[in-house]
């Protein structure tokens, strides 16, 4: 236990000596077989938003280490060292709200009310520490950054903020290391706002929805990422556009819109620099609407759902080429109000060859997990998992090599989960027993997951071959302890996870995949 007197002593002797003392103390109390490089964070601390850089060298996270509910930003080498606080001292009441790491792993972009409480602004800082740079322009009273994304190709950050007029949200672009910002949207209609955007890396453009021309009518626009003329991508519409997806690697966007004079929502595509919109949905029956869509990672297939207007998106699933040709129904027939809903839990395999989704035929049928080929050839639709009564499909993960689907079986009566894996094209499944929160290693060889042990047994982090066997315990915890939120580095060498002790204190731990993890994040004494 760190007493008040010891905390004062740690502050006086400095951080380096303090860390040595903490390491000595934690080594005396660590779990057998662990090589500890840190003590435990204060009991009130919560670790949030853990991310590993793309080069697998650094881990960045938010935590309220020094003051409860004041979240600050830390970076540490994944091999272990003293965590470095990236943000400067925050204003009273201030906190770091979110962050992203640039694709080249050099910088961290974060949003925080760093200078004025309740004024969220955008900053950039080197991942290894240095002076943060503010990215947004001067904020009006009440202004805030409302969302942001990074474009690695152009080295720019795109963000939405009511920067120049309170409660008028507009779109801006700025270099990741700071510099002059540019406003991307054209002048908005009175009452208008930018609502959602995405970055078209293939075309070097930003695609966004806004009621730019007519208040309360959201339309789809495109603009060069460094600024320039905006173009409208949709046909004339009578209702707002809410859903669009960019096509990977190609300057093309697909969206759902209701054209002026039309009776239904249809599927459209257009080049992001602007061209004539192409209608891509099949001929709809009376009362039918296109309700959702997904585009394959290979940019060769689009799947979309068609349903009666009052069924909240559940209906039949169709497949088409994004750029031309007919559509094909690829799901089973279902009663009205049932079928497929791809708003969540539906996935293309990374190679674009198959689509995995949940399907329910009618009110009495199970909501089963299915897979269907979408890249051509005879239709091959298979059941991957058919739940028993009282069971449901939980989270689904697909291996990077497209060969395996890992899924949870949620048992509602016992509030428990079982974890299994099977071939994406159908076949015998492998059961891992009780488990949840699965992640798959980049080489598609192993599944890392939290065991579903009942309280107070330890909730350990396990690693097992995806085809069964070779189990390893990466945490080796004691009763009342748990391992959570595992992240795997891009090179597959490291697994980072949060460890919660029996007294609710937390720490961040890294494992190299063997049975003995070693701690790398060193807590800072409360000052």
In the structure encoding, which two tokens stand for residue 270, read together? 């257009």
Beta carbons of 154 and 167 less than 8 angstroms apart: no
pLDDT of residue 80: 76
What is d(CA 371, CA 354) in angstroms, rounded to the nearest whole number?
7
What is d(CA 14, CA 10) in angstroms, rounded to the nearest whole number?
6
Residue written as token pair 């949207």 = 185
Residue written as token pair 């058919």 = 386
Q: What residues does each domain of the chain span?
A: 280-386
Beta carbons of 356 and 364 less than 8 angstroms apart: no
pLDDT of residue 440: 98
pLDDT of residue 45: 82
Residues 6+ apart with CB under 8 A from 229: 223
pLDDT of residue 518: 65
pLDDT digits (tens, 9 = 90+) for 433-446: 999 999 999 999 99
519 CB-contact burial (10 Å; exposed 0-12 / middle 13-18 / buried 19+): buried
What is d(CA 28, CA 36) in angstroms, rounded to the nearest whole number?
10
445 CB-contact burial (10 Å; exposed 0-12 / middle 13-18 / buried 19+): middle
Tell me what the pLDDT averaged over the chain comes to.
89
In the structure encoding, which two tokens stand for residue 259, read together? 């054209």
What is d(CA 77, CA 521) in angstroms, rounded to the nearest whole number?
9
Low-confidence ranges of the chain (pLDDT < 70): 1-40, 310-312, 516-527
Beta carbons of 66 and 89 less than 8 angstroms apart: no
Can you tell me whether residue 110 is helix, strand or coil? strand
511 CB-contact burial (10 Å; exposed 0-12 / middle 13-18 / buried 19+): buried
């Amino acid at each position: 236990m760190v007493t008040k007197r010891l905390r004062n002593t740690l502050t006086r002797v400095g951080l380096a000596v303090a860390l040595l003392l903490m390491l000595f103390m934690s080594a005396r109390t660590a779990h057998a077989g662990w090589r500890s490089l840190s003590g435990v964070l204060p009991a009130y601390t919560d670790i949030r938003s853990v991310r590993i850089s793309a080069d697998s060298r650094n881990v960045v996270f938010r935590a309220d280490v020094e003051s409860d509910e004041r979240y600050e930003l830390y970076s540490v080498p994944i091999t272990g060292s003293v965590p470095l606080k990236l943000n400067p001292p925050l204003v009273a009441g201030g906190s770091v709200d979110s962050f992203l790491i640039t694709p080249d792993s050099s910088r961290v972009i974060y949003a925080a009310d760093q200078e004025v409480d309740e004024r969220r602004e955008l900053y950039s800082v080197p991942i290894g520490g240095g002076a943060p740079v503010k990215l947004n322009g001067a904020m009006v009273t009440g202004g805030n950054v409302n969302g942001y994304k990074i474009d690695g190709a152009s080295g720019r950050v795109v963000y939405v903020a009511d920067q120049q007029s309170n409660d008028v949200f507009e779109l801006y672009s700025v270099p990741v290391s700071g510099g002059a910002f540019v406003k991307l949207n054209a002048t908005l209609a009175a009452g208008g706002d930018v609502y959602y955007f995405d970055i078209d890396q293939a075309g070097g453009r930003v695609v966004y929805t806004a009621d730019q021309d007519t208040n309360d009518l959201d339309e789809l626009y495109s603009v060069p990422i460094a600024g320039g003329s905006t173009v409208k991508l949709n046909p004339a519409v009578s209702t707002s556009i809410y859903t669009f997806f960019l096509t990977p690697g190609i300057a093309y966007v697909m969206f759902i819109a209701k054209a002026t004079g039309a009776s239904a929502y249809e599927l459209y595509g257009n080049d992001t620099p602007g061209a004539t919109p192409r209608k891509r949905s099949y001929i709809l029956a009376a009362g039918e609407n296109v309700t959702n869509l997904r585009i394959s990672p290979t940019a060769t297939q689009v799947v979309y759902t068609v349903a009666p207007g009052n069924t909240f998106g559940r209906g039949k699933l169709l497949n088409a080429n994004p750029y031309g040709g007919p559509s094909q129904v690829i799901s089973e027939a279902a009663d009205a109000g049932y079928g497929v809903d791809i708003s969540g839990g539906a996935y293309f395999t990374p190679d674009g060859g198959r689509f995995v989704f949940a399907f329910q035929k009618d009110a009495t049928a199970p909501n089963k997990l299915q897979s269907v080929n979408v890249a051509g050839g005879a239709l091959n639709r298979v059941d991957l998992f058919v739940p028993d009564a009282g069971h449901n499909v939980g989270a689904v993960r697909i291996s990077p090599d497209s060969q395996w689907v890992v899924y949870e079986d949620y048992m509602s009566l016992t509030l428990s989960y079982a974890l299994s894996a099977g071939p994406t094209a159908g076949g015998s499944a492998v059961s891992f027993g009780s488990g949840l929160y699965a992640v798959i290693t980049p080489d598609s060889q192993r599944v890392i997951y939290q065991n579903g042990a009942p309280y107070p047994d330890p909730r350990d982090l396990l690693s097992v071959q995806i085809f069964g066997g070779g189990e390893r315990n990466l945490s080796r915890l004691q009763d009342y302890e748990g391992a959570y939120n595992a992240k795997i580095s891009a090179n597959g060498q490291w697994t980072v996870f949060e460890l919660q002790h029996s007294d609710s204190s937390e720490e961040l731990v890294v494992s190299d995949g063997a049975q003995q993890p070693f701690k790398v994040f060193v807590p800072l004494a409360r000052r």
